[in-house]
Structure 1
Amino acid sequence: MTDHRTGQSAPAKLARRRALTVSAMLLAGLQASTGLAAARDGGPSTARDGGSSAAPALDWRLCSTAAADWPIKNDTRSECAELTVPMDYAKPRGRTITIAVSRVRAAQGTTRASPVVSVLGGPGFSNISDAMSMTRRGLAALNAEHDFIGLDLRGSGYSDHLVCDDRPGVEPLPTAPEKHFKKADFDTQAEFNNRCAAIDPAFVRQITPENAARDIDRLRVALGAEKINFYGASFGTAIGMAYRALFDRRTERMWLDSVMPPTRHWPTMDRETEAVGGESTPPFVAWLAGRDAEHGLGGDESTVRGRLGELRGDLERKPRTGGGVRLDGDWVVEQINRPQEEWDHAAKALAAVRGGGTPPAAPTPSKSPEPSKSAKPSKSATPPRAGGAASEPAAPIRSAGLGGPRSGFNTPQYHAMFCNTAPAGRGFGELWAAREARRKADPLSGGTEFSAWCAKWPLNAPAARPAHGGSALQLSGHLYEYVTPYVWAEQARDATGGALLTIVDDGHASLPSSPCAEKAISFFRTGQKAEGSCGGQS
């Protein structure tokens, strides 16, 4: 069904909204019924955390031949294996699942250095090729003495995963108020969450960062390593914080870039994300204030903000169509956040619509615009949904292992990682009230985020909070980035006691491609922490 506001199909509309929403990379976790303190004290070989004193065997084979549809062409270094772990670590002798893992051996051949385990993003995405990706990034020098290790987190990639597709929801009429559209999105998400979780709730409930951390520790045992190093980016930082909280004594050094918050509450994270997005508004507002004679939107910034905020509110309550688009509150926000080269057109469009008319047609570019660095989807970005009619799997879990098929992106895992430990944000009334409060506080930029990923999520699990530990922890936050706001890195520093390096750019998980990469290499080799600031991507 078509979204009358944008001319996009319903699945495309969901993809667009999700691509603009960062709350998809949130910390979620499961504290085993045995207790966080027991896991911290016991180490990986105790029955208390589901461990086993016997190291599981790993049958390493070249990934390009062992794994169906291996995503890296001409890869002659990555080795793959399968690891059997408990589905529920509170029941270590119960049902088991298979985790797919990878290794790129240290270039020096024989080394006693602790391996570097990496999780470069997610959730939902296949991470098994992260080990090879690390050899092609700014931290590649570490592979001289360290094995690089990757894995598909439970519920994704070649690891055991659920199969459940989306079903399109019902779109409101184009003139319906904004609240009706938000409720339609919420209902579509709730239907997906409840239908997919019901396929195998015992399995879905166990998809959490903490259990992913336990899987990594089982892998450590299988590798014969006393300790591991860990490099996490974006959602991978949630896995890292969970590992350190549970296995501080088994952690040698850990670097987390573009950090997730140590705890999360959906409305709070929406507010923190909006605060970053709102920083792009003042320059355009000031520009408009200097051109009141031309556009009539106000001669000072306060007046401009007030008039545009009123226009947004009016169009939220009574949207209309014009110029081939739905003119609603989102349309106003889109105009005020356009790049500087489009400010003149945005101003004319806003003035025309405020006067009751229709926006002028967008100018035709003289040449096809080159894609921006931020336009390319990444593991950290909120992923598109598949859409279309659902086709339920013949079995609840597809368990073909490395033989495939590989789930490049797994939507059920994506939501389970977010929602199992997120009691907030499951009800529409709660989400809408929080959104309206932010909207009232800032009529122009408030209420632009609406995170409904956990709509009516049916499962619950207690979360383990990150804590101060004895192992070396380094965090890096990007001062101006939107995806994981810098304030989350500050919160993680306070919760974990880690050192915080401020990277002065707006990149996301871009440490390896910045001059700061040398500091990370030094940290893993010597343990020297970095604080203060560092120049980022140019």
Structure 2
Amino acid sequence: MIRLKTTLTAAAVAAGLLAGTGSAAADPVEAESAQRGGLSRYYDQRLDWAACGHEQLDAAGAQCANVTVPLDYQRPRGRTITVAVSRLKAADPARRRGIMLSNPGGPGGAGLDMMLRVQGWMSPDVRARYDLIGMDPRGIGRSSPVDCKWSVGPMLRSAGVDRAGFDRVVALESDLAKRCAEREGDRLPHITTRNTARDMDVVRGAMGEQRVSYFGWSYGTYLGAVYTQMFPQRTDRFVLDSAVDPRKYGLGMFQDLGAPNEAALDLWAEWTARHDAEYHLGTTAKQVRAGVEELIRRSARTPIRVGDYTVDDNFVPIALFGPLSDPRAYPLLAGQVRELTDAADGKGAPPSPELEQALRFMFGPGAHQDGDGQAAVLCGDVRYQRDPESYWRDIQRSRATQPVFGAFANNITACAFWAQPKERPTVVHNNRPALIVQATGDTRTAYQHGVALHKAMTGSRLVTLKDVPVHAVFGNYPNTCTENVVNTYFADGTLPARDLTCQDDAR
């Protein structure tokens, strides 16, 4: 899904052509490119590995390189861009199996340093066998980044409580799309998931590897699934954690966020009520939830001043959405709701560092370089409904059962005003082996999305983490069962004999 740092991580995923059913067949476009041979200079390029100029990567002994790729794969002799990659070499060269590519999600997540975090969750056996490869996808981070000069961070907003709030968002999203078209119009059609998958295959070839293994979170599961469809003979061991249903990538993916976030809000409200002595937000879950809903209405009537920022009903649900992706963040969320409530009551105080970071990411200078790259991929991959009234009708229908998040999950984005995609979406249907890991309470990529991806990839196994409202499991949320399954698969290629369910260690 999408990663919005402290405040927001949303999920997303993208495009291609059906090349076969049952078994994986090479995507026709990719087969045509291979026959032309016009890409050989990219696959055969020599990579110049050097220090990364990144404190943590350099301290870990990583190396970085820039990989040259065509902006437009249909014009391989045309304009080029670069994709930044990092490498943490296998701990035991004698046992090395190959490379493991990765993606942290988003889209829009810079992944150059992702494997620094994930490697700590890998068994010594796995670390011995793989060069771990981080990558900033095209248009993101160090990889020829998109820069539309937005005045805000991500494009995602709640529609608020009434038509006035929705109309504000419509105007904002139209302006954001216009800015990108004016500044980056010639590049935008090529900042897509399909092209990132092609870039991954160029990285594979330039590193002299026949196949790749892969680990991806959230949107990274969609990217990984698209790669298996486009380059089926190049896949080795793929782990797709917190998956997106390829058929719902786009608006349907966002709409499915509403229900699990309402459920997670109830769990948080129960936790907060048990800690009323600290946060004073209510002694029952019903009181806590009612206070949150009233806070949103109050921010619509009178926007809340918090430090240098003004917060209204378009923002408050987003502030809730971020921490709800992990139950360990419940204290953080309770503290921020207390801060916003105090500010609404006129008890102004400088925001905590955590709330300041969240506000700066949404509204502050420089935040645009995360948001516009994310939009380029989300909007460039699939078609979106263009009529604002259709979004408004969905929002209104959702309010009864999703009073906090319906106006966010069903809201309009800049994609409604974007140019139509250059390629058709990828239909994922193959039998490539993969391990899919999904928590039942995932608030970013709903559990049914993992089930759907498992059905689309008939050679996969599904590992369910039961009754945990967390997004991103392996490498993020401690669980002995899921860690053992993932490490076993990466180490020796053994998938579970059947789908399995893991219990939360914390229970």
TM-score computed with the length of structure 1 as normaliser: 0.71
Aligned residues: 466
**Structure 2: distance between partners of 1:416 and 1:341:** 31
Displacement of 1:185: 2.3
Check conservation: 2:46, 2:206, Cα contact below 8 A: yes
Check conservation: 1:60, 1:79, Cα contact below 8 A: no
Check conservation: 1:234, 1:257, Cα contact below 8 A: yes
Verify: 1:229 aligned to 2:213, yes or no.
yes
Aligned to 1:518: 484
Match among 358, 371, 389 for residue 429 of structure 1 = 389
**Structure 1: distance between partners of 2:240 and 2:426:** 16
Amino acid at match of 1:78: A
Verify: 1:145 aligned to 2:147, yes or no.
no
Check conservation: 2:145, 2:369, Cα contact below 8 A: no
**Structure 2: distance between partners of 1:455 and 1:248:** 33
Higher alpha-carbon deviation: 510-519 or 53-62 = 53-62
Displacement of 1:47: 3.6
SS in 1 for 2:215: strand
* Change in CA separation of 1:89 and 1:47 when aligned onto 2, cut-off 3 Å: farther
**Structure 2: distance between partners of 1:233 and 1:323:** 35
Check conservation: 1:124, 1:410, Cα contact below 8 A: yes
Aligned to 1:173: none
Amino acid at match of 1:27: V
* Change in CA separation of 1:329 and 1:45 when aligned onto 2, cut-off 3 Å: closer
Check conservation: 2:382, 2:425, Cα contact below 8 A: no
**Structure 1: distance between partners of 2:248 and 2:484:** 31
Check conservation: 1:29, 1:211, Cα contact below 8 A: no
* Change in CA separation of 1:220 and 1:51 when aligned onto 2, cut-off 3 Å: same
SS in 2 for 1:61: coil
Amino acid at match of 1:514: N
Match among 358, 361, 380 for residue 420 of structure 1 = 380
**Structure 1: distance between partners of 2:241 and 2:256:** 18
SS in 2 for 1:255: strand
**Structure 2: distance between partners of 1:151 and 1:333:** 28
- Unaligned runs of 5+ residues in structure 1 are 1-15, 170-175, 289-296, 351-357, 391-406
Q: For 1:20-72, what per-residue CA distance to the aligned partner results, in whole angstroms no more than 9, with x for missing partners?
A: 665x4211235699xx9663696698146964287423334332xxx4x4141
Question: Greater helix percent: which structure?
Answer: 2
Percent identity between the two aligned chains: 22
Aligned to 1:384: 361
Aligned to 2:470: 507
Aligned to 1:56: 44
Amino acid at match of 2:218: S
SS in 1 for 2:201: helix
Displacement of 1:511: 1.3
| 1:235-250 → structure 2 map (5 Å cutoff) | 235-250=219-234
Check conservation: 1:80, 1:100, Cα contact below 8 A: yes
SS in 2 for 1:467: coil
| 1:42-441 → structure 2 map (5 Å cutoff) | 46-47=34-35, 51-52=39-40, 55-63=43-51, 67=52, 69-72=53-56, 74-111=58-95, 113-138=97-122, 141-167=125-151, 178-264=162-248, 266-280=250-264, 319=301, 384-385=361-362, 387=364, 409-440=369-400
Aligned to 2:156: none
* Change in CA separation of 1:435 and 1:270 when aligned onto 2, cut-off 3 Å: farther
Check conservation: 1:420, 1:460, Cα contact below 8 A: yes
Displacement of 1:231: 0.7
**Structure 2: distance between partners of 1:408 and 1:314:** 25
Amino acid at match of 2:220: G
- Unaligned runs of 5+ residues in structure 2 are 154-159, 274-281
**Structure 2: distance between partners of 1:467 and 1:30:** 8
Displacement of 1:202: 2.8
**Structure 1: distance between partners of 2:490 and 2:236:** 9
* Change in CA separation of 1:168 and 1:259 when aligned onto 2, cut-off 3 Å: closer
Displacement of 1:214: 0.4
Aligned to 2:279: none
* Change in CA separation of 1:280 and 1:151 when aligned onto 2, cut-off 3 Å: closer
Verify: 1:464 aligned to 2:399, yes or no.
no
Check conservation: 1:111, 1:145, Cα contact below 8 A: yes
**Structure 2: distance between partners of 1:100 and 1:333:** 31
SS in 1 for 2:236: strand
SS in 1 for 2:59: coil
Amino acid at match of 2:229: A
Match among 495, 498, 501 for residue 533 of structure 1 = 501
Higher alpha-carbon deviation: 77-86 or 124-133 = 124-133
* Change in CA separation of 1:369 and 1:536 when aligned onto 2, cut-off 3 Å: farther
Check conservation: 1:312, 1:332, Cα contact below 8 A: no
**Structure 2: distance between partners of 1:60 and 1:493:** 38
Report which of the two structures shows the higher radius of gyration computed on alpha carbons: 1
Check conservation: 1:85, 1:97, Cα contact below 8 A: yes
Displacement of 1:451: 4.8
Displacement of 1:126: 2.3
* Change in CA separation of 1:83 and 1:110 when aligned onto 2, cut-off 3 Å: farther
**Structure 1: distance between partners of 2:41 and 2:127:** 29
**Structure 2: distance between partners of 1:332 and 1:37:** 43
* Change in CA separation of 1:359 and 1:233 when aligned onto 2, cut-off 3 Å: closer
Check conservation: 2:243, 2:453, Cα contact below 8 A: yes
TM-score computed with the length of structure 2 as normaliser: 0.75
Check conservation: 1:265, 1:424, Cα contact below 8 A: no
What RMSD over aligned residues (CA atoms) do the two structures have, in Å?
Answer: 4.9
